Amino acid sequence: MLGGLMLALAAVAAPFQAIAAGTAEAAPAAAGSGMVMVLDSSGSMSGSDGAGSTRIAAARKAVGAVVDALPDGYPTGLRVYGADKPKGCDDTRLVRPVGALDRAGLKRAVAGVRPKGDTPIGLSLRKAADDLPRPAGGSVGKRTILLISDGEDNCQAPPPCKVAAQLAASGVDLHIDAIGFQVAGKARAQLECIAKAGNGRYYDAPDARALARQLQRAGQLSAEGYRFKGKQVRGTATKSSAPHLVPGQYLDSIGPDEERFYAVDLDAASTADFSATVVPQAGATVGLLDTVRTRIAYSTDSACESSTAMFGQSEGATPLTSAVSRVPSETGTGTCDKAGRYWLVVERKAAEGSDAARWPMELTFHVEPRLTKGVTPAQSEPEYGAGGKDATLPTSEPRDVTGGTGFNDARTLHPGVWRDRLLPAQTLWYKVPVGWGQQLRYDVEFANEPTVRGHSATTSFGGTQVYTPARTPVGSGTGEFDVSVPYDGRPASLAMGTVPVAWTNRYEGHPNVIPVHQKGDFYLAVTLGAKAAEIAQNPRIGVVLRVAVLGKEKAGPEAGAATVTGAASGRTPGARTDGAAQDGGGWSTGRVVAVAVGAVGVLLLAGLALAYVRARRKPSAGGGNSDPKRGGSW
């Protein structure tokens, strides 16, 4: 198997070696998004780069490379400091305003820079924040200051670390990345401090090639950030003033150790699904046990079930989703079976030293249509069966694909073999239509990459997660698959999948079987750890996905449903073929259940996942008793 994997990766390795100019089919940047590069043009940049040229010449080439790789039209500008006079701590100038990407204009601007003077980093950062556009109308943009420097601030005031912290605290959409070009000692420590205080990431560039590579990574990662979608809402710290939500999609933000309440009205018979996706700046500092928890509250002090998602690694932040469902019990007498007012509660827990920024958060609330009265659903399917680790997957030639930035622009995949490229600290998203009675099964293969010198002591990780149509993560804790694998530049692979889709899975005992109860688009997320930036020579790393949808699709969730054949099997997920009714009747058994969660980043805690309980468990009589052991990824 390993030999076959290496041959397959070798066959597709060549296309991953070159960096494409621009990003294919890039989505328009969110309103208010943009990047301003802040380039050190102080006297020291006229020094040698150690490869027969000057540091400023290497910086010019690197800036040219990154603008070639940015998406067409992405708002980009350039500010320089130390370029206009031999002495002066006010020497900072915007040479190219932030606007639709003008590659030729940016290259001309940086070509005209001549190193002369001092290093007023703090002042330049403050000015750069004003250079960037501001989101309007509640939109969630992504504003980036990308600092490139070969030394520390020699102007004393304003202190650059303090400025970075102040700017980062001014909004959830602003972060500061820093690239240190041939720096050490105090200079490197200051740049690392700026990046950490600015909710960004520090990239070390010991030579000209590394500068070009790290600048491309930082720029592309900023431009290709999560595309948000939803109506702006502001959760509250208490139930009494919580905003009222109707089914839909919403945007908010959440700070460290904060709890947010949202009110919803539920009937007595329908299943209600909730999800909360937080999106820290890619690679931001997080702790092993930093978590996001969702729960459903009822009455004065009652609670239904809760779920907890954790990063499970301290290499750097990735998007993290927690989800929970309310499933009424068969008897209708459980604590959370009544019609009335409920609350979705989202809580973020942060370890000391973790990213202190507010994180943008995307919420979804979905009410599933009830089965038509008299319809008997097919039996649940809690076993992987043919979809286990040994499933036969496609072996055809890979086709190129460009993954999306999140749930909202996930790229549709059909069964077959696909190849893509991703950046360290990046997560790419795809979706696969899966029908009643079918199950998703796929492999992710991370390519063999040329590595940088001295990387041998560094190991990163590759990860994947699969989400239901309601955005519930189901790929961890089953005992069947792992969500991550160590990656050091050599070939590495992961297997992932779901049990077959069955309406009555919602009454099963295992938290990663329960949510696989509705047909539709299942989401695949593939991520690469931030430390891979210290390993691979190429800015992006190749990845291959082998995707299969196993089993014959059924026309609905009912027992004895006909098999979908011919053109009908390609119907759009969600088309009304499932015996569901919008009103009246209904069939409901079971209890209020917790939906277990997982995150793409889980690495070190995968071994602590619950063993897969294959024996089916009967519903509890009360229906509302919460079992805290069922509420998390551990």
Does residue 309 contact residue 633 with C-beta atoms inside 8 Å?
Answer: yes
**Res. 518: pLDDT tops 90:** yes
Neighbouring C-beta atoms of residue 192, cutoff 10 Å? 17
Q: Which two tokens stand for residue 139?
A: 């939109």
Residue 30: what pLDDT? 63
Residue 582: what pLDDT? 35
Does residue 36 contact residue 98 with C-beta atoms inside 8 Å?
Answer: yes
Q: Kindly list the distances between the CA atom of residue 483 and the CA atoms of 246, 300, 467, 477, 525, in Å, as whole numbers in the listed order.
A: 33, 38, 12, 9, 10
Q: Look up residue 426 and give its amino acid.
A: Q
pLDDT band at 592 (very low <50, low <70, confident <90, very high): very low
pLDDT digits (tens, 9 = 90+) for 280-323: 988 888 988 899 999 999 987 788 889 999 998 889 899 999 99
For β-strands 439-446 and 34-40, DSSP reports them as: unpaired
pLDDT band at 478 (very low <50, low <70, confident <90, very high): low
**Nearest one of 196, 114, 90, 111 to 147, comparing CA atoms:** 196
Residue 136: what pLDDT? 64
Higher-confidence residue of 5 and 386: namely: 386
Cβ contacts of residue 446 below 8 Å, gap of 6+? 462, 485, 487, 491, 492, 493, 528, 541, 542, 543
pLDDT digits (tens, 9 = 90+) for 14-27: 333 333 333 334 55
Residue 11: what pLDDT? 38
* Percent of all residues in the chain with a pLDDT value above 90, rounded to a whole number: 65
pLDDT digits (tens, 9 = 90+) for 239-256: 999 999 999 999 999 999
pLDDT digits (tens, 9 = 90+) for 36-73: 999 999 999 999 988 889 999 999 999 998 999 899 99
DSSP track, 237-304: SSSTTPPB--SEEEEEEE-TT-EEEEEEEE-SS--EEEEEEE-PPTT----TT-EEEEEEEETTTEEE
Q: Mean pLDDT across the stretch 2-10?
A: 39
pLDDT band at 476 (very low <50, low <70, confident <90, very high): low
**Nearest one of 115, 126, 60 to 84, comparing CA atoms:** 115
Residue 169: what pLDDT? 85
Task: State the sign of the Cα–Cα–Cα–Cα dihedral 50, 56, 57, 62.
Answer: positive
pLDDT band at 577 (very low <50, low <70, confident <90, very high): very low
Average pLDDT, rounded, for the chain: 84
Residue 632: what pLDDT? 26
CA distance 172 to 174: 6
Does residue 618 contact residue 589 with C-beta atoms inside 8 Å?
Answer: no
pLDDT digits (tens, 9 = 90+) for 404-446: 999 999 999 999 999 999 999 999 999 999 999 999 999 999 9
Q: Which two tokens stand for residue 3?
A: 């030999």
pLDDT digits (tens, 9 = 90+) for 188-203: 999 999 999 998 889 9
How many residues in total does the chain contain? 634
For β-strands 541-550 and 416-422, DSSP reports them as: antiparallel
**Res. 605: pLDDT tops 90:** no
Residue 285: what pLDDT? 87
CA distance 168 to 63: 24
pLDDT digits (tens, 9 = 90+) for 86-126: 999 999 999 999 999 999 999 999 999 999 999 999 999 99
Strand residue runs (E) in 423-565: 427-434, 439-446, 460-467, 484-487, 492-497, 520-528, 541-550
Lowest average pLDDT, out of 93-107, 460-474, 597-611, goes to 597-611
Residue 612: what pLDDT? 31
**Nearest one of 99, 98, 82 to 90, comparing CA atoms:** 82
* Percent of all residues in the chain with a pLDDT value above 70, rounded to a whole number: 82
**Nearest one of 598, 86, 82 to 308, comparing CA atoms:** 598
**Res. 512: pLDDT tops 50:** yes
**Nearest one of 474, 449, 515 to 598, comparing CA atoms:** 474
CA distance 413 to 428: 13
Does residue 469 contact residue 522 with C-beta atoms inside 8 Å?
Answer: yes
- Pinpoint the alpha helices (H) of 315-378: none
Q: Which two tokens stand for residue 514?
A: 């329960």
Q: Mean pLDDT across the stretch 5-18?
A: 37
Q: Mean pLDDT across the stretch 493-521?
A: 94
